[in-house]
A and B are shown apart, each in its own frame.
Chain A
Amino acid sequence: MRVAVIVFPGSNCELDTVHALRLLGAEPDLVFHRETDLSGADGIVLPGGFAHGDYLRTGAIARFSPVMAEVERHAAAGTPVLGICNGFQILTEAGLLPGALVANRDLRFICRPIHVRVESTDSILTRNAEVGRVLRIPLNSYEGNFVLDPSALEALNDRDGVLLRYSDSTGNVGDGSNPNGSTNSIAGTTNAAGNVAGLMPHPERAVEEILGSSDGRVLLESFVSSMEAIPA
């Protein structure tokens, strides 16, 4: 299964994403943001980093990169599209996922492992997981604070679009376990069709025990298996 891992100027997690996807048996290719043809891709990942320096707003400039029209076309056609951290920010800016990401509540960058609870398995990111499962995955962001207005939040909840919520190690969700102030502790979401997903934590940083956790595997394995289930 071929995965296009998009490289924007300022992306920095693309090689890590490739490493993790290879470990899980996928065949990732780095695709520069100026490309306009993704026809061979069974899936697309927008990796973490600081595309275009995060200038103006995080993700705001990247969403107009030449490759994004093709990403949008694939998303509409049902291809699995995953945004991790900065990639999640770009997907919200592009309107492929609801909401937006703003500065963390404490106005400090946060790099540490946090816990998330799986809220829905109806997506390319969580299809192999179980609702209620708690995963320990590194968070690494300054603008990781998910916001959206109350009516949009209601709509998102109604269609079961929240995939992951920040929690404590036993799965309790609350202010104490919300690292960055995200609305409703939301850490990851999906679109209505379930083929576009985004999350702030970095599952590719949690695929080997020697690095502290392999809890990210189930998420990336979901993505890889969804490519087989959903023909490009």
Chain B
Amino acid sequence: MRFRVQVMRRPGIADPEGATTARALNDLGYAEVTGVHFGRDIVVEVDIGDEAAAHARVTEMCERLLANPVIEDYTVERIL
């Protein structure tokens, strides 16, 4: 079973990649860009039959390692 974990910087926490890219887009003429936010996509493959149980395990992985709760939020989603 495969899960997509999306990790994003929490609002209010500095995101230099995002800020720099937003500036570059503004410079290219996309004046409407008011924010760019960088995150990270992680696909986790697990060998568990029950989806709810698997989801819970992956969420635990996020809490412990895949995301840093001090600066990041995450979402977990089952994918094919």
Pick the contact of A149: B13, B15, B16, B68 (CB < 8 A): B13
Q: Given the complex, which residues of B lie within 8 Å of A34, measured CB to CB?
A: none
A204: interface (CB < 8 Å): no
B55 touches A (CB below 8 Å):
no
Most buried by B among A57, A93, A104: A57
B31 sits at the interface (CB 8 A): no
- A103-B17, A104-B16, A149-B13 are contacts. A56–B71 as well, Cβ < 8 Å? no
Query: For the complex, is A232 an interface residue (Cβ under 8 Å from B)?
Result: no
B4 CB to nearest chain A CB (Å): 16
Q: Can you list 9 A-B pairs, Cβ within 8 angstroms, ordered by A?
A: A56-B66, A64-B65, A99-B70, A102-B13, A106-B16, A107-B20, A145-B14, A149-B10, A149-B13
Which residues of A approach B to under 8 Å, CB–CB?
Answer: 56-57, 60-61, 64, 92-93, 95, 98-100, 102-107, 145, 147-150, 152, 181, 183
CB contacts under 8 Å to A, within B66-80, are 66, 68, 70-71
- Chain B residues 1 to 50 lying within 8 A of chain A, measured CB to CB, are 9-10, 12-17, 20
Q: Taking chain A's interface residues, is the majority helix, strand, or loop, or is none over half, making it mixed?
A: loop
User: What CA separation (Å) do A147 and B15 show in the bound complex?
Assistant: 10
Q: Is the CB of B16 within 8 A of A105?
A: yes
Cα A55 to Cα B10 in complex, Å, equals 20
Chain A residue with Cβ nearest B21: A107
Inter-chain contacts of A107 with B (CB < 8 A) = 16-17, 20
Find chain B residues with CB under 8 A from A149 CB: 10, 12-13
Contact of B16 among A60, A61, A102, A150 (CB under 8 A): A102
On chain A, the residues within 8 Å of B65 by CB distance are 56, 60-61, 64
Would you call A92 and B70 a contact (CB within 8 A)? yes
**CB contact between A147 and one of B14, B17, B20, B66 (< 8 Å): that residue:** B14
Q: Are B14 and A181 in contact (CB under 8 A)?
A: yes
CB nearest neighbor in B for A98: B70
For the complex of A and B, 3 pairs with smallest distance between CB atoms: A100-B71, A147-B14, A100-B70
Task: Report yes or no: B68 in contact with A57, Cβ–Cβ below 8 A.
Answer: yes
Q: How far is the CB of B38 from chain A (nearest CB, A)?
A: 9
Which residues of B lie under 8 Å from residue A93 when comparing CB positions? 68
